[in-house]
A and B are shown apart, each in its own frame.
Chain A
Amino acid sequence: MSEYTKPLPYPTIESEPFWEGCKRRELLLPQCRQCRGYWFPPGSTCPHCWSTEWDWTKASGRGRIHSFGVYHRAYHPGFEGEIPYVFAVIQLDEGPRMVSNVVNESPDKLECDQPVEVVFEDVTEDVTLYKFMPAA
């Protein structure tokens, strides 16, 4: 693998299990035992009902593009060869929204509310990123 030059995530004590899940090809979300709600980004308290009783649950990996933008300027040298690239706010079927990239599609074919599904990309030996592509 050639040297990876883009920023890597700096996990926190609360997000480490999420990133471990990505390595196993699992998109994990915290789910509350009390109200059954999901949330993202990870945190130790359910933002819906404030319960601290919850589990990591494997999400479907399906969702929709809530909105997206196309970078025409590289704010980091690691992305200089990538522009234009798409970033998006993904509305997961489970409810939470997350920032990611939409890959395997030309930017001008994308639309808000378009269905997408998760794909995983091993970018280094230790880090796997979650990305999305148009649903089959």
Chain B
Amino acid sequence: MSNLLGKYAIAGVGHSKLGKVPEMGPIGMFAVAARNAIADAGLTKADVDGLITRGPDDVYCHHQRVGEALGLNVTYSTSTDNGGASQVLGVAMACMAIDAGLCNTAVVGFGRDTWSRTHRTEAARKRVNIGIQNQGEFGPEFGWFGAPSNYAVSARRHMKLYGTTKEQLGHIAVAFREHASRNPNAFFQKPLTIEEYLGARMIVDPLCLYDCSIYIDGAAAVVVTSAERAKDLKNPPAYIMGFGFGNRLSGWFEESNMLTTGAKEAGEAAYRMAGIGPDDVDTAQLYDCFTQMVLLQLEDYGFCGKGEGGPFAASGALRLGGRLPTNTSGGQLSEGHTEGMLQIVEGVRQVRHEHGPDRQVKDAEIALVSGHGGNTACQSAMILARDAS
């Protein structure tokens, strides 16, 4: 394959109503997000010939259901299965499909009714919990349930080896909440103090309530097309300068994978394709399912050394105006969890200089956007830029 540096771009972004959306299902929200993204690009339904999707795990052939809702026939389409690493992967797959001549303009998106599923009724909440966790072995029988456990053991091991503190993790949550206070779409907009963070109830010690992202209902989507075409559309393109992946499939507990993640390989590949390094990144939109995952990525993407994520976060680097303004929408910790799709949207908006002065990273030229998921094994990274060179 030829070097894809700057050949493709995100031409439009959109999302559904976010937060509590009990009146709509995940496919419906996805359709709204796709419509909004296509309109944002200044394109129409007839222009779309690719569709890459992800939604709830229990929807078979998810892309067909979304395509049905949109009344779309396309050439290139699939659903992805890398958890929260799927969304950046989907954008990269779109670039590769266009480069191979398989389609010209693809919609990539995610949508899920996670808040409604888990909060509609107390019975629904219990059903979801037990339904997910009551089958299998080597985990549930010991009370090991789901994602918080994985990041709790990572955090404790990091604390043991590097002296990372709970308060340092807290600076991640506090910084993102401060950004969310400038985002009218964020689920939590009330600023959080470090004292409130340290006093919060534990979920899985050492992780407390504010170390965990917030499940919401919502969908977001982007439109990927050639840079050539994107230049003439309604909004300035966000050029895709590089992408990369790291999949430590051997598992979170193996080797040192809970301390150094596939983000290392993902970042190295993305930087290499883009011809840049971590010092060139103006803003990062990182996959923040938990504060601990942000800490690991700050190290693995090379913004600081291994073991230095805690002091880096506590230095104020992540705040707007800091050295590396990160998750400027509030991220999944405060804006809401859409498996990283809103991180891509925010990366695009930052390099387009779309925000007002309170939320815009001044002179942002380059954004790093990441994804993470798939039983904690999968990482994806993408570099977006304001200019194609």
Which of A's residues lie within 8 Å of B, judged by CB? Answer: 6-12, 15, 19, 41, 47, 66-73, 75-77, 79, 82, 84-85, 87-89, 97-101, 107, 111-113, 129, 131
Q: How many A-B residue pairs have CB under 8 A?
A: 105
**What separation, in Å, do the CA atoms of A99 and B137 have in the docked complex?**
10
Nearest 8 pairs between A and B by C-beta? A69-B152, A9-B137, A67-B153, A70-B205, A75-B145, A72-B202, A7-B140, A67-B157
Q: Contact mask B201-240 → A, CB, 8 Å, 1/0?
A: 1111111000000000000000000000000000000000
**Are B141 and A112 touching (Cβ within 8 A)?**
no
**What separation, in Å, do the CA atoms of A76 and B133 have in the docked complex?**
8
For the complex formed, measure the closest distance between the CB of A55 and the CB atoms of chain B, giving whole angstroms: 20
Stretch from B53-61, B250-258, B297-305 at the A interface: B250-258
**Are A67 and B258 touching (Cβ within 8 A)?**
yes
A76-B140, A99-B139 known; 15 new pairs, CB 8 Å cut-off, are A7-B134, A69-B153, A69-B204, A69-B206, A71-B204, A72-B204, A73-B204, A75-B146, A77-B126, A82-B143, A85-B143, A87-B142, A97-B253, A107-B205, A129-B141
Which of B's residues lie within 8 Å of A, judged by CB? Answer: 126, 129-130, 133-146, 148-149, 152-154, 156-157, 160, 201-207, 250, 253-254, 258
**Are A8 and B153 touching (Cβ within 8 A)?**
no
**Are B253 and A89 touching (Cβ within 8 A)?**
yes
**Are B154 and A98 touching (Cβ within 8 A)?**
no
Chain A CB within 10 Å, residue with most, of B126, B136, B152, B153? B153
**Are A73 and B203 touching (Cβ within 8 A)?**
yes
Q: If the complex has contacts A72-B204, A98-B138, are A113 and B160 also in contact, measured as CB distance less than 8 A?
A: yes
Q: Which residue of A lies closest to B135 (CB)?
A: A10
CB neighbours (8 Å) of B139 from chain A are 99
CB neighbours (8 Å) of B143 from chain A are 6, 71, 75-76, 79, 82, 85, 87, 101
**What separation, in Å, do the CA atoms of A85 and B205 have in the docked complex?**
10
A-B contact pairs, 24 of them (CB 8 A): A7-B134, A10-B137, A11-B137, A19-B137, A66-B153, A67-B153, A68-B156, A69-B153, A69-B204, A70-B202, A70-B204, A71-B205, A72-B202, A73-B202, A73-B204, A75-B129, A75-B145, A76-B140, A84-B202, A85-B143, A97-B254, A107-B205, A129-B141, A131-B142
